[in-house]
């Protein structure tokens, strides 16, 4: 799992086409459907707070956890700008150490795919179950098996955006269902380009594998949806949302 480092400084620029307000409103619709009285929310792998902050603006009380100090620093600065009181904590979600309980736990932007060992993912699900209040819900999304194997797969992407040139080389391993992404960013800094190198590793999970692990940890009423809808995913869905109840 990458610690992001200098990548935190350019992450938001690269992701500026994502409508995080739409994302937050979709999560709110899920919450109102399954846990209308929810107030306390934990955002796992919160990154620079792109989902955490809009959820706070919608009126919920947010905590955010991420493994990267740099990403959290950006998130804290943004929260101050938006006047939001959010508690950010540096922590690896594979080793949660929280005594507070929550009505809702969320994990967006395919954070779950970064957990590449099934026993570790099952532990994460079990830890989340423990910190949820009665009838609490866990909402998360994954990049689908189809996306990681066939869209990213063994492909290479090259792009230039807002003074940032980058190459994205992928290597997919059929045996482990893991894709290794080697990213090289060249950021215009004055008259020269500064290089930032990142390696990200994600596992392609099938929906039935995730469903089985959630059930094993005690979750019930498990819903599986195509991105930003309440429709079932199809064979070529690229982002899939899960909703599971304690």
Residue 199 has a pLDDT of 94
Q: What is the pLDDT of residue 6?
A: 65
Q: What is the pTM of this model?
A: 0.94
The verdict on 169 and 241 lying in the same domain is no
Tokens of 113: 């795919």
Return d(Cα 1, Cα 202) in angstroms, integer. 8
Kindly state whether residues 139 and 222 are assigned to the same domain: yes
Q: Where in the sequence is the domain holding 66, given as residue range(s)?
A: 5-143+205-245
Residue 1 confidence (pLDDT): 38
- Token couple for 196: 């930032």
DSSP states along 126-140: HHHHHHEEEEEEEEE
Residue 146 exposed, middle or buried by CB count within 10 Å (0-12, 13-18, 19+): middle
User: Under 8 Å CB-to-CB from 16, ≥6 apart: which residues?
Assistant: none
Distances (CA, A) of 94 to 45, 68, 91: 10, 14, 9
Going by the DSSP 8-state scheme, the letter that residue 56 receives in this structure is: H
pLDDT value at residue 3: 43
Q: Are 243 and 141 in contact (CB under 8 A)?
A: no
Low-confidence ranges of the chain (pLDDT < 50): 1-4
Q: What CATH number corresponds to the domain at position 186? A: 2.20.25.110
Q: Are residues 210 and 192 both part of a single domain?
A: no
Q: Which domain CATH number covers 73?
A: 3.40.50.150
190 and 217, same domain (yes or no): no
User: Domain check: are 194 and 101 in the same one?
Assistant: no
How much is the pLDDT for 2? 42
pLDDT in tens, 226-242: 999 999 999 999 999 99
Q: What is the Cα–Cα distance from 68 to 65, expressed in whole angstroms? A: 9
Q: How does pLDDT run across 144-183, given as a tens digit for each residue?
A: 999 999 999 999 999 888 778 889 999 999 999 999 999 9
Give the total number of structural domains in the chain: 2
Residue 184 CA, distance from chain mean position = 21
Residues 116 and 15 grouped into a single domain: yes
Query: Integer distance in angstroms from the first to the last C-alpha of the chain?
Result: 28
The two three-digit tokens of residue 67, written as one number: 């493994």
Are 156 and 136 in the same domain?
no
CA distances from 146 to 86, 133, 229 (A): 35, 34, 18
**What's the CA gap between 119 and 236, in Å, rounded?**
27
- Same domain? 115 vs 179: no
Final residue of a domain: which of 169, 185, 202? 202
């Amino acid at each position: 799992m990458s610690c992001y480092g200098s990548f935190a400084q350019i992450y938001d620029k690269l992701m500026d086409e994502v409508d995080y307000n739409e994302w937050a409103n979709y999560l709110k619709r899920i919450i109102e459907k399954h846990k209308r009285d929810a107030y306390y929310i934990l955002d796992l792998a919160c990154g620079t707070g792109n989902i955490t902050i809009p959820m706070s603006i919608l009126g919920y009380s947010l905590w955010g956890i991420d493994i990267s100090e740099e990403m959290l620093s950006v998130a804290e600065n943004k929260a101050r700008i938006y006047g939001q009181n959010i508690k950010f904590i540096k922590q690896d979600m594979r080793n949660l150490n929280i005594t507070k309980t929550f009505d809702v736990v969320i994990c967006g932007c395919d954070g779950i795919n970064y957990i590449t060992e099934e026993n570790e993912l099952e532990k994460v699900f079990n830890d989340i179950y423990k910190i949820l209040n009665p009838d609490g819900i866990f909402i998360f999304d994954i990049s689908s098996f189809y996306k990681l194997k066939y869209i990213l797969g063994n492909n290479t992407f090259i792009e230039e955006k807002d003074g940032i040139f980058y190459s994205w080389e992928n290597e997919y391993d059929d045996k482990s269902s893991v894709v290794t992404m080697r990213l090289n960013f060249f950021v215009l800094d004055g008259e020269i380009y500064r290089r930032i190198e990142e390696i990200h590793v994600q596992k392609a999970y099938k929906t039935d594998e995730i469903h089985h692990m959630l059930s094993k940890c005690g979750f019930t009423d498990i819903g599986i949806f195509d991105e930003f809808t309440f429709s079932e995913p199809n064979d070529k869905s690229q982002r899939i949302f899960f909703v599971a109840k304690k």
